[in-house]
A and B are shown apart, each in its own frame.
Chain A
Amino acid sequence: MGTIQPNVAEPAREELSLVHAAKAGDIGAFEELVKRYDRNVFRIAQHITQNREDAEDVVQDAFLKAYQNLGNFQEQSKFYTWLVRIAVNEALMRLRRRRPERMVSLDEDVKTEEDSMPREVADWAPNPEQLYNRGELREILGKTIQGLPPSFRTVFVLRDVEGLSTEETADALDLSIPAVKSRLLRARLQLRERLSKYFKNRTGGDGKP
C-alpha cells in the first residue's frame, strides 16, 4: 500500500527575496506573496471557522498583520509557516467570538482513545466519486469535517490538505510533534469513521444511505 506524501512547497530562496523586498517597502513584492498564498489562507480559515464571512475577514486581517509585522519575521521558519500561524490565530479568535459558550483551544484534547477506535470496517466500493456527484461529495465532506473538534480539523487541514510537514504544523500551531501526530491520527480516524456511513460497500443496495 502506497504512502501519502505532502505537497511540495514553493522554492524557498525566491520567496525569501520577495520577503526582503517587501520588508524594504516594495508593495508589489508583498502583492506577489498575497497572490501566492491567499487561496491557502482562505481554505485554512474556512476549515477552522466554518463560516464564509469570517474566512474572508481572516484573509484580510492575516495578510495585513503579516505586512505590519514583517520586521519581526526573523526568517528562522518559512514565510508561509509564519503566515499560517497568524492566520490560525485570527481564525480561532473569530471562532471563539461566535461560540463564546464553548472553549476553543488548540490544546483541546478532551476525547479519549476510545473515540478514534474504528467501528466501521466495511471497505469503500465503488469509489465515492462513482457514488456521488461533485456537489454532493463536497456537501458530505464539508458536513463531516465540521463535526470534528476545532483542534483536530486545524491539524488535519494543515497536514493533509495544505501539505505542511509535521514539524511545520507543530511550529505553526505551537504544539509538540507528539501532540500534532496524536491529533492527526484521531482526526483522520474520526473522519474515516464518519465518511464510512456514506461510502461503505453496500452489496445489494443502491449504494446510498
Chain B
Amino acid sequence: MTCSDFLKELTDYLDGVMDAQTRAELEDHLQWCHNCYVVCNTTKMTIEIYRDSHLYELPDDLRIKLRSAILSKCKGHASDGSPSPAPGHAPTE
C-alpha cells in the first residue's frame, strides 16, 4: 500500500466503514509510515476539535427571539388554513 492509497481510504478508515482486510492493510501501513500516521492522527483531531468547539452556538436570547418570530409567521400562515403544500416551491425528498 502506498501513501496515496492510504489517503484515498482515510475517510472510510476514520468513519469505521471498511472491511477487516482493508483495515488491516491500512493499520500495517501506519505501523511504519510516520507521515501517514501524523496525517491520520491530526485529521482525526481536526474533526474532533470542530465537533467539540461549539462554534456558532445560538445564544439563548436570540434563540427565543427567532422562535417567537417563526411561530408568529406560522400562525399567520395557519390562519389561512392548516399547513398545506405551498405553491411554487415545494422541497422534494
Contact = CB atoms under 8 A, between A and B. Distances in A.
Contacts of B39: 118, 121, 189, 192
A142 B16 CA distance: 27
Contacts, number: 179
B33 to A, nearest CB: 10
A38 to B, nearest CB: 6
Nearest to A122: B38
B42 to A, nearest CB: 5
A27 interface: yes
A27 B75 contact: yes
A64 B13 contact: no
The secondary structure that dominates the A interface is helix
Q: Chain B CB within 10 Å — which of A65, A124, A192 has the most?
A: A192
- Which interface class (under 10, 10 to 19, 20 to 34, 35 or more) fits B? 35 or more
A82 B93 contact: yes
Given A47-B56, A86-B91, A4 B15 contact: yes
Interface string A59-102: 11001111111111110110000100110010000000000000
Given A27-B78, A39-B63, A128-B49, A5 B16 contact: yes
Nearest to A63: B70
B43 A121 contact: no
B43 A188 contact: yes
A27 B74 contact: yes
Contacts of B53: 137-138, 141
Nearest to A30: B74
B82 interface: yes
B69 A60 contact: yes
Interface in B41-93: 41-51, 53-58, 62-63, 66-67, 69-71, 73-75, 77-78, 82-86, 89-93
A15 interface: no
A55 interface: yes
A160 interface: yes
Interface of B: 7-8, 10-17, 27, 30, 34-35, 38-51, 53-58, 62-63, 66-67, 69-71, 73-75, 77-78, 82-86, 89-93
Interface of A: 1-6, 22-25, 27, 30-31, 34-35, 38-39, 42-43, 46-47, 55-56, 59-60, 63-74, 76-77, 82, 85-86, 89, 116-118, 121-124, 128, 137-138, 141-142, 145, 156, 160-161, 163, 166, 171, 181, 184-185, 188-189, 191-192, 195-196, 199
Give 7 closest A-B pairs by Cβ, nearest first. A3-B16, A25-B82, A46-B56, A68-B86, A70-B83, A71-B85, A42-B58
